[in-house]
Structure formats: structure tokens, C-alpha cells
Chain A
Amino acid sequence: MIVESASRRRVRTVLAVAVVALFVFPLYYWTTTAFKDAREIFNIPPNVWTFDPTLKNFEEVFGISLGFLRQQEVLPGGGNFYMAPRLWDSIVVALGSTALAIAISVLAAYALSRMDFRGRHAFVGWVLSTRMMPPVAVAIPMFFIYKDIGLMDSYLGIILMHTLINLPLGVLLLKSFFDDIPKEIDESALIDGASRFLVFRRVILPMAKGGIAATAVLCFIFSWTEFIFVLTLTQTGLKTVPVVSSSFVTSTGTAWGNMAALGVAAMVPAFLFILLVQKQLVRGLTLGSLKQ
């Protein structure tokens, strides 16, 4: 890389900190919202730095109480904000669909990267186009199918839908990661008598680990945040975070603090997942050059 002068490095650091701070600020504000009661959330002027932190919002969302801190009290409207199991639903769905999407995508991406066949360009185009259908249009027919085959309101049903929305992304990204690995590596292994599958499993997969990790992170995120399919295809069996977050909108106002508490808590599993694959990710980002 280019070696920069000390002053340029300083400018770069200052700029970077400023930009990242700008992006992190809404998160910071949202996190503080989770620790405020309604009076603080709606203070004028907005309370950015100084406020009385409360754990009430988290207690209500996770159904726990640090009761020794204050007297127990009955919540107006009954305290219907117990959402902890929904976090678990989200984790199951996101992990399941990510695993499935990656499994299907690596196979397909390898073939698309290594095997030349007529219509390959068009085929990739078609795969990409499956992401273009507005979700509303897919939701209705899927509702009928799911009802018929009993996938309605089930983990499997949602996992399949989320796998589907992630396939184009998975195939496209993984293919470009595989493309970066020189074909000569496969060929020399094949000449040595290894089978295609062995080459794929023993040589290519390990080399593309970083790319696979990066793709998995994105699949996880898209499943973690998907709204319309979960809304349409579930009832009471499971619900993911984006959909339950709307149940804080009630006829007697929106429970902003509780919603923020769930939002903040929901960042944790997703971020843990990113951290888990972080090591791979960094390598993926460095080695997996996507150059043409």
C-alpha cells in the first residue's frame, strides 16, 4: 500500500472518527432511549447526554425484575411486552436460513465459477431476478401454499422463505469469491486424480472461507431484519424481532422505551454472530479480492 505522511494519517483518522461518529450517533441515541422512561424520551429539548437511567424497559421486555431496586407495580394495560422468546425465534430462523442458504449457494456458485455451460450468463441473471419480485406479491401465494402443506406458522416455513431471499445474494457473492481463486489450482488437483467433489471440499472451500463468512454475515442480517414474510406467514407460533417490534404500537400510544430495549437487545445476537465470523471476515475482506 501507499505510505502516507504522518499529517495525512492524522487527517484521515480525524475524518474517519467524525464519519463513524455520525453513523453511530443514532444508535447511541436509540440505546439511551431504551434506558429512559417516557418523560425523558419526550423531553424538550431532547436529553442526549444526561438522563436518569432506568432498567424498566428491559424488565418488561424480558419478563425479569430487579425488584429489590423499587417496589413492584402493576403496569397500565397489563404489561404485554414480554418478548424474550421472540429473540430466540429470530436466532433460530436467522441461523437456520443462513446455513441453508450458504449450503445451497456454495454448491451452485462453485459450478457457476468452474464449469462452462451454455446460458450461464442468463442463468445467473435469472437467479438474480428472483430477488426482484416485490415481497407482497410472493406473500399471498405463499400464504395459500403454506396453509395447504402445513408450513404456516412454523420455523421451517420461515427458514425456507429467508433462504430463498438470500439465495441470489449468496450465489452472486460466492461466485465472485470463487472466481478469485485461480482455476489452475483445481486443474492441477484434478490431474493428480482427485475428484471434483474432493477438490471442492478439500481445496476450494477452505480457500474461500473468508468469502463464505462474509456472505454468511449478510445472509444473517437479511434474515434478521426481514419483515413482510414473517408478518404474513406466522400467527402465534413464532415471530421475529422486526415483526414483534410493531406490537409496541398500541391503541394507547407507542411504547418507545420498550421498543428501543428490544431493538438494542436484538443487536447483541447479530453482533455476536458477526464477531464469531469476524476472524474469517477480516481474511475474507483481505484475501477475497473481487477484481475482474
Chain B
Amino acid sequence: MPAVTSAKAVFSSDHPLPWLFPLIAMLVVFTIYPLIYNIWLSFHEYAPFRRELEYVGTDNWVALWNDERFWGSLSVTLTYFVVVLIIELVLGMAIALLLDADLAGFGVMRGLLTLTLVIPPAITGMMFLLIQDAEFGVLTWVLEQVGVLDGTAPILSTPSTALLGVMLADIWQWTPFMVLIFLAGLRGLPGEPYEAAMLDGASGWQIFRRITLPQLSKVIAIAVLLRGIDLFRMFDYVFVMTSGGPGTATYTLSLYAWQQTFSFIKWGYGATISLVSLVLILVIANLFIWIAKVRW
């Protein structure tokens, strides 16, 4: 079979290029070009009357610097990113530790948890919109019964709670993602160090702190990176649930870029917002990789 022979020939050396080639090809075509295009675009703006893009120099960048809405969206995005990431990380680890046992029914429960992941976020948003509706929502009803809400401040349209309402959908949907990845790590840990620690009379917390955590550090790093990147770009939930409101209380960078690009046809400005967002998450991610001493 000639195909196999040639594949063998290509892949038999120790040179990584043939192995990496399909990956590089895909990424270059589909990411380098959009990146260059967006940089170019950020120095242009769509002129609605002439129906074409015209050069505007650094106008978009200057406008961005002076745009209160941009800074507001950035602060919402960062708040969302930090709070949700911490909650999902801690909660995910706690649930993973809880479910990491070979007891009756635990396999089924691990499977049930993954169900939240297969619901498209756009539908999850609608689901939580219904659950949190001020009049008809089941969560609102429960919270009113127990006296947390008094019926005058709807969760999603009160500035102080709207972002929490959106976060709730995210946490519900993605904590199981963390659980899944952490469980993968936990289940693979060797048993010997634990037995030794038990004999030494270490407490559960000490065991977790000294033995489990260090061994899981790389898994945690991967989970935090993957989830963190997606949190920073979060769009679907706010798009569906709050339209960024009330006011701008839940307006994220992604939603802002979307609005500028698609609703107002300010492609250049939208590209500028996206680029800033990209640079920020690049910096944050690399800081994290550096601080956490992740080596690939």
C-alpha cells in the first residue's frame, strides 16, 4: 500500500514538522489571517454612505481610550472572569474530591453531572432566564418563599444582582467541566503517598494540601487556562439573558464588540475592542503560565 509507505517515510524521522504540519496549516489559515485583518481593520472604519472601509488612522484607538462604555465593559468582564473562575475552580475541586470514590451510584452521578455540558449556552441562557423570571421563575419563587427576595427587585434587572444571575448560569454549566478534568487527574493519582501520610496521622486538609494539590497542579493549570480564556470571551449568556443590562451592569467586552460590529457596522471599532481583549487575555494567560511555572 503506497499511502502507508509514504506516511511511514514521512513520519519515521524524528523531525517534528510532518507531525505538526496539519496543525500549523489549520492555525495559520484560520487564525493568522483574521489577526492581520483585524489589525488592519482597527485603522479603518466602515463608511456607511460610501459603502466601503476608509482609513481613519488611530482614531479608533484614541476613541477607545476615551470610551467610558469600553472601560465599563472591561471592568464587568474582569469581575466576571475573576469571580466565576474562582468559584468554578473551588467548587469544581470540592465536587471532584467528593465524587472521587468507588461507592454505589457514584459512576452514575459523575455521568449525570456531564449532562449540563451538552446544553448549548444559548439555550442555557434561556433556561436561566425562565428560572429567574421575576413573575414566573421557579428560583425567584423559592427565594421569595425563604425570604431572600421580597418581590420588588428582579434578579436580572437589578444592577446589584444581574451579574450574579448571569454568573449562576455559567457556574451551573461549567463547574461540571472542571469536575470532569479534576476527576481525570484525581483518579490517576498513585495511592502510596496517601497511605504513608495516613500512617503519619496527617489530617484530610494536610493530605490535600501537601500531596493532592501538588500532583494535580498541571491539571489545574490546564483547566484554569481553558476555562479562563472562555470566561474572558463570554458572550452567549449576556446576549440571551440581559442584553448587557440593566443599563450596562452586565455589558461584557464580547457583547460590546458584537454590538459595534454587527448592530452598528462599526467594524473598525469592533476590531479594536476585540484586539484589546485579545492582548489582555494573552497577558493574563502568560502571567499565569509564568507564575504557575507551567512547562509544556
Q: Do chains A and B touch in the complex (CB under 8 A)?
A: yes
Which residue on A lies nearest to B236, using beta carbons? A227
Across the interface, B188 reaches (CB within 8 A) one of A48, A135, A200, A288, namely: A288
Beta-carbon contact of B233 and A135 below 8 Å? yes
Q: Distance (Å) between the CB of A114 and the closest chain B CB?
A: 9
User: Which stretch (A13-21, A54-62, A63-71, A77-85) binds chain B?
Assistant: A13-21
Beta-carbon contact of B27 and A130 below 8 Å? yes
Asked, given contacts A46-B138, A108-B20, whether A12 binds B103 with beta carbons under 8 Å apart, the answer is yes
Most central of B16, B107, B116, B180 by chain A CB within 10 Å: B16
Q: Distance (Å) between the CB of A20 and the closest chain B CB?
A: 5
Beta-carbon contact of B13 and A129 below 8 Å? no
Asked, given contacts A26-B172, A197-B12, A263-B119, whether A290 binds B278 with beta carbons under 8 Å apart, the answer is no
Beta-carbon contact of B138 and A29 below 8 Å? yes
User: Which stretch (B60-68, B78-86, B129-137, B154-162) binds chain A?
Assistant: B129-137
B71 within 8 A of A: no
Beta-carbon contact of B19 and A108 below 8 Å? yes
Number of interface residues of B (CB under 8 A): 109
B47 within 8 A of A: no
Beta-carbon contact of A27 and B101 below 8 Å? no
Please give, as numbers and ranges, the residues of chain B lying within 8 Å of A167 by CB-CB distance: 23, 26-27
Beta-carbon contact of B120 and A266 below 8 Å? yes
Please give, as numbers and ranges, the residues of chain B lying within 8 Å of A218 by CB-CB distance: 177, 180
Beta-carbon contact of A285 and B226 below 8 Å? no
Please give, as numbers and ranges, the residues of chain B lying within 8 Å of A48 by CB-CB distance: 138
Asked, given contacts A42-B136, A142-B34, whether A1 binds B191 with beta carbons under 8 Å apart, the answer is yes
Which residue on B lies nearest to A175, using beta carbons? B296
Q: Distance (Å) between the CB of A89 and the closest chain B CB?
A: 13
B123 within 8 A of A: yes
Which residues of chain A (162-189) have a CB below 8 Å from chain B? 163-164, 167-169, 171-173, 175-176, 180
Most central of B41, B114, B253, B281 by chain A CB within 10 Å: B114
Please give, as numbers and ranges, the residues of chain B lying within 8 Å of A140 by CB-CB distance: 37, 41, 261, 267, 270-271
Please give, as numbers and ranges, the residues of chain A lying within 8 Å of B285 by CB-CB distance: 128-129, 132
Please give, as numbers and ranges, the residues of chain B lying within 8 Å of A259 by CB-CB distance: 123, 126
B250 within 8 A of A: no
Please give, as numbers and ranges, the residues of chain B lying within 8 Å of A115 by CB-CB distance: 14-16, 19
Question: How long is the Cα–Cα vector from A217 to B83 in the complex, in angstroms?
Answer: 27
Beta-carbon contact of B184 and A284 below 8 Å? yes
Interface size on A, as a range, is 35 or more
Please give, as numbers and ranges, the residues of chain A lying within 8 Å of B184 by CB-CB distance: 214, 284-285, 288, 290
Please give, as numbers and ranges, the residues of chain A lying within 8 Å of B194 by CB-CB distance: 1-2
Which residues of chain B (224-267) have a CB below 8 Å from chain A? 225-226, 229-230, 232-233, 235-236, 240, 253-254, 257-258, 261-262, 267
Q: Distance (Å) between the CB of A58 and the closest chain B CB?
A: 16
Beta-carbon contact of B130 and A292 below 8 Å? no
Over the window 188-207 of chain B, the binary record of Cβ atoms lying under 8 Å from chain A Cβ atoms (1 yes, 0 no) is 11110011001000000000
B164 within 8 A of A: no
Please give, as numbers and ranges, the residues of chain B lying within 8 Å of A288 by CB-CB distance: 184, 188
Q: Distance (Å) between the CB of A53 and the closest chain B CB?
A: 17
Q: Distance (Å) between the CB of B150 and the closest chain A CB?
A: 16
Which residue on B lies nearest to A160, using beta carbons? B30
Beta-carbon contact of B26 and A164 below 8 Å? yes
Beta-carbon contact of A46 and B296 below 8 Å? no
Please give, as numbers and ranges, the residues of chain B lying within 8 Å of A271 by CB-CB distance: 115, 118
Please give, as numbers and ranges, the residues of chain B lying within 8 Å of A266 by CB-CB distance: 118-120, 123
Across the interface, A107 reaches (CB within 8 A) one of B22, B38, B115, B235, namely: B22
B74 within 8 A of A: no
Beta-carbon contact of A117 and B289 below 8 Å? no
Which residues of chain A (137-170) have a CB below 8 Å from chain B? 137-138, 140-142, 145, 160-161, 163-164, 167-169
Please give, as numbers and ranges, the residues of chain B lying within 8 Å of A217 by CB-CB distance: 114
B287 within 8 A of A: no
Over the window 86-112 of chain B, the binary record of Cβ atoms lying under 8 Å from chain A Cβ atoms (1 yes, 0 no) is 000000000100110111111101011
| 15 A-B pairs (CB sep. < 8 Å) | A19-B95, A19-B98, A112-B296, A121-B296, A125-B296, A136-B258, A137-B257, A138-B34, A142-B34, A167-B26, A198-B8, A246-B240, A256-B126, A271-B118, A289-B190
Could you tell me which B residues sit within 8 Å of A by CB distance?
7-8, 11-16, 19-20, 22-23, 26-27, 30-31, 33-35, 37-38, 41, 95, 98-99, 101-107, 109, 111-123, 126-128, 130-131, 135-138, 141, 172, 175-177, 180, 183-185, 187-191, 194-195, 198, 214-219, 222, 225-226, 229-230, 232-233, 235-236, 240, 253-254, 257-258, 261-262, 267, 270-271, 273-275, 277-278, 281-282, 285-286, 289, 295-296
Cβ-closest 5 pairs across A and B = A289-B188, A111-B19, A137-B274, A242-B120, A270-B118
